[in-house]
Structure 1
């Protein structure tokens, strides 16, 4: 078989895997919709969630406004994706809307010269749709770290490695924002800001 044919087969295989993953996500959404009312009731109303997010991003913005005015070095912020940067739990569809208070935080950081990196436990197979979604809703994307293929390490270990890699590239991570302790624990950030996850309901 020619190298061109092999390449085409490899691309087709990856595309099929992505479609299967997206299909599985749709099935999971359907299962969630059919879940008992008691489970769904654990998450607050959308307006309450946004208010709770804003209660965290407001002091985060105040901190960034001051911290990024200090000259010197390459600075960056790190954002989780699901239920941090994108409204994964509350909104469906091909393009998931941005969490507006977090988008404003990213825009503030970028306007002051900081790079904006995303670190997620999504599989590497979803790089293209994930990056496309982030950019489509207005996020500046200077880097996207996803779970490598055939990697079975704990979530926190992978996210810590990603932040370490960002530092090794010459950046100082001035803020790390996520809605789960696995997004934040492990160091490699000057400050962490935890958004609500309501005891794991918004994973």
Structure 2
């Protein structure tokens, strides 16, 4: 279900960007579940909770990144690096404390990778959005064409592919368990999802 929902969101986003999605797919016929809006905390609370995690992340990276070797930090996108649930737009804004942590990691020599469940079709607009709001993008991994694996496997496979390029993934950052499960990262940092309110 999550895969199909992501694909539908992707096609709707493509239509909004004018990239030629069929008109029949351009608008959903049913509203989003009411519980998402009801359970989502105020923006200020969310940013405070995110900052508590990024403070730990930055402290860890300050101690882990100095020294040699090819090191990478992996980030999820929606509600991890971009404010999708609060300020979806074109472009969708960066989450300030996460952007600051990513810039700090880049300044210390880490490569910045993004691993998302967004469909492959959204690669160009996604990369453009990330760059326009200030992120360095050393690599972007999306759900491959015609891939119906669980999200956890898609993301684990992406991290394995990054490791095969010779990188050590020193940190993996996401707001859902499927962003972080599966190993292939020295440490994981989970941002709040409020029991699925920020899917």
TM-score of the two chains, using structure 2 as the length reference = 0.86
2:53 aligns with one of 56, 65, 70: 56
Q: Report the Cα offset of residue 31 of structure 1.
A: 2.3
Give the structure 2 partner of residue 145 of structure 1. Answer: 141
How does 1:5-84 map onto structure 2 within 5 Å? 18-20=19-21, 27=27, 31-32=31-32, 36=34, 39-69=36-66, 71-84=67-80
Give the structure 2 partner of residue 6 of structure 1. Answer: none
1:159 aligns with one of 150, 155, 158: 155
* Inter-CA distance 22–138: structure 2 relative to 1 (3 Å threshold): farther
Alpha-carbon distance between aligned partners in 1 of 2:175 and 2:60, rounded to the nearest angstrom: 18
How does 1:116-127 map onto structure 2 within 5 Å? 116-127=112-123
Aligned to 2:84, what secondary structure does the other structure show? coil
How does 1:182-201 map onto structure 2 within 5 Å? 182-201=178-197
Name stretches of at least 5 consecutive residues in structure 1 with no aligned partner. 1-14
Q: Report the Cα offset of residue 56 of structure 1.
A: 0.4
Alpha-carbon distance between aligned partners in 1 of 2:191 and 2:37, rounded to the nearest angstrom: 19
Query: Does the 8 A contact of 2:43 with 2:86 survive in 1?
Result: yes
Aligned to 1:73, what secondary structure does the other structure show? coil
Q: Report the Cα offset of residue 72 of structure 1.
A: 1.9
- Would you say how many aligned residue pairs link Structure 1 and Structure 2? 184
Alpha-carbon distance between aligned partners in 2 of 1:113 and 1:125, rounded to the nearest angstrom: 30
Q: Report the Cα offset of residue 22 of structure 1.
A: 10
Aligned Cα RMSD in Å?
2.2
Q: Report the Cα offset of residue 39 of structure 1.
A: 4.2
1:100 aligns with one of 96, 103, 110: 96
Aligned to 2:115, what secondary structure does the other structure show? strand
* Inter-CA distance 41–114: structure 2 relative to 1 (3 Å threshold): same
Alpha-carbon distance between aligned partners in 2 of 1:18 and 1:151, rounded to the nearest angstrom: 21
The structure with the largest alpha-carbon Rg is 1
* Inter-CA distance 21–198: structure 2 relative to 1 (3 Å threshold): farther
Give the structure 1 partner of residue 4 of structure 2. Answer: none
Aligned to 1:81, what secondary structure does the other structure show? coil
Name stretches of at least 5 consecutive residues in structure 2 with no aligned partner. 1-13
